[in-house]
Amino acid sequence: MILKILLVLGVIGIVYFLFIKKKPSIKKNKTKKEVQEDASDLVACTTCGTYSELNETLISANKYYCSDACMEKA
């Protein structure tokens, strides 16, 4: 019984975490112009060369990565 409760709580926690992670709150206070500038700001991934928006790019040691996988390969 307790295991079932823990399992349900764990699933809720994971869903909650993913939901919060996918919802960037930074964009809320930006003007339309600033959002458009962000969208046109593309950077190349250091590992695979894929271009992605700057606000979706991971930055490590002043290098850009499109995903965690590429960051780990570097």
Query: What residues make contact with Zn ion under the rule CB under 5 A?
Result: 45, 47-48, 50, 66, 70
Q: How far is the CB of 1 from Zn ion (least distance, A)?
A: 45
Bridge partners, residue 51, by sequence:
44
Q: How far is the CB of 18 from Zn ion (least distance, A)?
A: 21
Cα separation, 71 vs 14, in Å, equals 23
Map tokens 């593309």 to a residue.
42
Q: Which of residues 38 and 50 has its CB atom nearest to Zn ion in the complex?
A: 50
Q: H-type helices in 1-64, by residue range?
A: 2-21, 32-39
- Distance of closest approach, residue 65 Cβ to Zn ion, in angstroms: 6
